[in-house]
C-alpha cells in the first residue's frame, strides 16, 4: 500500500492558515496535491538561471513573481521559480499566470507533475528548464488534461515568453556562464 493513502491531505485553506500562523516559518515547502513537499536547495548555477530570467522579465516588474505562491488549484500552491501573474486581489495569491518557469536540477518528476495543474489553471506557457540537459521543455496550448504542445528547445532556439515587454533570448544564452 502506498504511504500517500495514509497521509492527511491539507486543503489550501488549511495550508494558508499554517503559513499565516508562522507554523511553517523557516521551512522551504510548497503545497502540492495537498501534501507539504520539500523544495530543493538551490545551487549557484540554478540561481544564475533564475537571475537571467528575472533580467529578461525586468520590463514587467509589476507582474514578476520570484519563488512566490500561485494558488492554481485546490490543494496546489506551488512556488515556481518565475511567474508573470496579475494580482487582482491583494489578499489572495494569483490563481493563474501568463508564464510559469520551473528550473529543475533534481526536481524533474515533481516539476513535470505540476504541468497538468498549470494547464488546468490556464497558464498559456510553462517552461521546465532542465538544467543538467541544458534544454527548456516548453509547454503551450493548455487543455483540461495537460498541454497540447510540448516541445524540447535547445541551443540557439528562441525563448519567447509570449508576453509583451519580455525579452526574447535563446536557450543557450540562458545557460551561458
pLDDT digits (tens, 9 = 90+) for 96-135: 999 999 998 877 788 888 999 999 999 999 999 998 899 9
| Predicted TM-score (pTM) above 0.85 | yes
Residue-wise pLDDT for 28-82, tens only, equals: 898 888 888 888 888 888 899 999 999 999 999 999 999 999 999 999 999 999 9
For residue 176, what pLDDT band results from cuts at 50, 70 and 90?
Answer: confident
* DSSP-assigned beta bridge partners for residue 146: 143
CATH number at residue 127: 3.90.1570.10
Domain annotation covers residue 28: no
**34 located within any domain:** no
The CA distance from 144 to 142, in Å, is: 7
Asked whether residue 22 is domain-assigned, the answer is: no
Instruction: Classify residue 23: in a domain, yes or no.
Output: no
In a domain, 170, yes or no: yes
List the grid coordinates of 162.
509570449
For residue 122, being part of any structural domain is answered with: yes
Residues 6+ apart with CB under 8 A from 124: 98, 99, 140, 141, 142, 162
Q: For residue 136, what are the domain limits?
A: 42-175
Residue 49 inside a domain? The answer is: yes
With cut-offs at 50, 70 and 90, classify the pLDDT of residue 177: low
Q: How many domains does the chain have?
A: 1
35 is a domain residue: no
Amino acid at each position: 500500500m502506498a504511504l500517500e493513502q495514509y497521509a492527511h491531505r491539507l486543503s489550501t485553506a488549511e495550508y494558508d492558515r499554517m503559513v499565516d500562523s508562522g507554523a511553517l516559518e523557516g521551512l522551504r515547502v510548497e503545497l502540492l496535491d495537498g501534501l507539504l513537499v520539500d523544495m530543493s536547495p538551490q545551487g549557484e548555477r540554478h540561481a544564475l538561471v533564475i537571475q537571467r530570467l528575472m533580467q529578461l522579465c525586468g520590463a514587467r516588474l509589476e507582474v514578476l513573481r520570484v519563488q512566490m505562491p500561485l494558488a492554481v488549484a485546490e490543494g496546489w500552491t506551488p512556488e515556481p521559480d518565475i511567474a508573470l501573474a496579475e494580482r487582482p486581489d491583494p489578499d489572495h495569491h494569483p490563481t493563474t499566470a501568463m508564464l510559469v518557469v520551473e528550473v529543475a536540477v533534481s526536481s524533474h518528476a515533481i516539476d513535470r507533475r505540476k504541468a497538468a495543474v498549470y494547464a488546468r489553471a490556464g497558464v498559456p506557457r510553462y517552461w521546465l528548464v532542465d538544467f543538467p540537459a541544458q534544454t527548456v521543455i516548453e509547454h503551450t496550448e493548455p487543455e483540461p488534461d495537460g498541454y497540447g504542445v510540448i516541445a524540447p528547445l535547445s541551443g540557439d532556439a528562441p525563448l519567447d515568453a509570449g508576453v509583451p515587454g519580455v525579452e526574447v533570448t535563446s536557450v543557450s544564452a540562458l545557460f551561458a556562464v
